[in-house]
Structure 1
Amino acid sequence: MQEVRERPMRSGKPVQFSVLRVPFFLEPDYDTSEDFQETNRERLLRKWSGAAGFAAQKRRHGLKERGREVGIEHFDLDRVASSTLASHRLVQWVTKRKGVTAAEALYSALNHRHFELGQKLNDRRMLVQVAQETAGVDPAAAEAFLASEEGVAEINEAQQMLRRLGVSGIPTLVLGAKAVLPSGALSSEYLVQAFRQLEEASEEGAPDSVFAEARALGVPLEVLAEPLALGEQRYEPVAVAG
């Protein structure tokens, strides 16, 4: 995104980006209780019918190698897997109250905590701490939100939208109202090309957004119209014991 914005095709008309994180559940049947968990290794061995199937998937996706290309030296294979409903709800709550840039900082920090430090995404204490650190939210308000059912119905409705769009895996990028990119960890070169095509076709202004027009997840239109402050949503990774 930064490359496309800093080098616009039309001089003086840089592209602005906005991002809405739409939840997708790899394990929709997981118990949402904080007590439920398993290791990611256990989950993947079960999903791919044993060690041979798991090894084949690792070779096909090459996530470790892709991670190293962007500075992620280690994915914790034995990270704790749990329901991600609470973390998704928190990201939407922060989006509505603090905007897309703050939500991206939270999302990035949660990815670091889970994929690199191995922490489970259903740990409400951790979720509140990270939301306070990255988005400046009031911890008591975040705790009260997570203890409620607010946002659950909206997330369920968003799942139906994703099914209608044919989304069946993550990550999947939906550009504007129609362009659904292939699922998976796409290369930066592929993404720049996709963004350039959208930039070239959008001379009359920003493209429609299927999620904005449907008021998906209850995020106000003025929030979705807010440009993502590229580079400002970064955070300093916190090393946590335990």
Structure 2
Amino acid sequence: MSTLIVDIWSDIVCPWCYLGKRRFESALDGFARRDAVQVRWRSFELDPHGSRRANLTLPERHRRDVGGTPEQARRRIGALSDLAAQSGLTYRLDLARPVNSFDAHRLMHYADQVGVGERVRERLLLAYTGEGAVLSDHETLARLGAEAGLDPAATLAMLGSADFTESVRKDEALGRRLGVSGVPTFVFAEKYAVSGAQPVEVFADLLDRSWREIAPAEPLGGEGVCTAGGSC
């Protein structure tokens, strides 16, 4: 049986990544061959040299990087929150604290290895976009991981080591080779790439198109067919 691989580069401290994840999942739910799809989450740091300290909220960070008044920043953040609500997500981005996400990525690789990657990923994304959690703090990461099924003591031990550093760096290196410069970025069957939280219909089309190219043609069956060897 053929397998359709979808690689997704994403950052935990990225509201657009959570929205893109949810829209992709909606498309996947409606895909007839969903069981044949393998999703591989890849690490990407939006600010690899960023501080581990939560010095600014997301609106303050927007004003610093993009400019404009506090009201303009609130409107930009509010527009994104409205889009997220259409996909069933509740954002409180006025609380969000952009920080260095390297250790959160290491935690995700650890969770994937343990078998609770999806639950931990959802918990971290929710904590960042809706709860103002500081995802560079080891105690916070251990607490959130425990809520999603990880052992907190083992998580703290892992975070205190260098484990999964190479896993994060390999994802980032692969992304650079493929030209990934922003997130979320979705690569279907190692051939079709699309960036951003695309509409559900775009993801659905890419799933269908990619599947048609990798899967062998399936006979429809029925009467009125002559087979090789003269059997009619």
Q: Give the TM-score band, short-chain normalised.
A: 0.7 to 0.9
1:104 aligned partner:
118
SS at match of 1:22: strand
2:15 aligned partner:
none
What are the superposed Cα offsets for residues 118-177 of structure 1, whole Å, 9 maximum, x if unpaired?
11111211211222221x222211110001111223322322221121111111111221
1:184 aligns with 2:196: yes
SS at match of 1:78: coil
2:109 aligned partner:
92
Question: What 5-or-longer segments of structure 1 have no aligned partner?
Answer: 206-242
Q: Could you tell me whether the CA contact under 8 Å between 2:50 and 2:99 is conserved in 1?
A: yes
What are the superposed Cα offsets for residues 14-67 of structure 1, whole Å, 9 maximum, x if unpaired?
5422222211111121134xx453221222112213439x659939x9422320
Counterpart CA distance in 1 for 2:74 and 2:92 is 18
Higher relative contact order (CA 8 A, sep 6+): 2
Where do residues 1-242 of structure 1 align in structure 2 (5 Å cutoff)?
A: 1=25, 4=28, 8=32, 15-32=35-52, 35-51=53-69, 55=73, 58=76, 62-98=79-115, 102-134=116-148, 136-181=149-194, 183-204=195-216
Counterpart CA distance in 2 for 1:19 and 1:175 is 9
Q: What displacement does 1:77 show? A: 2.4
* Cα separation, partners in 2 of 1:72 and 1:14, compared to 1, 3 Å: closer
* Cα separation, partners in 2 of 1:177 and 1:155, compared to 1, 3 Å: same
Superposed CA RMSD: 2.8
SS at match of 1:77: coil
Q: Could you tell me whether the CA contact under 8 Å between 1:5 and 1:15 is conserved in 2?
A: no
Q: Could you tell me whether the CA contact under 8 Å between 1:27 and 1:83 is conserved in 2?
A: yes
Q: What displacement does 1:185 show? A: 1.3
Question: What 5-or-longer segments of structure 2 have no aligned partner?
Answer: 1-24, 218-232
Aligned residues: 193
Q: Percent identity?
A: 23
Q: What displacement does 1:4 show? A: 4.9
TM-score (normalizing by structure 1) = 0.70
Q: Could you tell me whether the CA contact under 8 Å between 1:4 and 1:15 is conserved in 2?
A: no
Higher strand fraction: Structure 1 or Structure 2? Answer: 2
Q: Could you tell me whether the CA contact under 8 Å between 2:104 and 2:136 is conserved in 1?
A: yes
Q: Which has the larger radius of gyration?
A: 2
Runs of 4+ in 1 over 4 A off after TM superposition: 1-7, 54-57
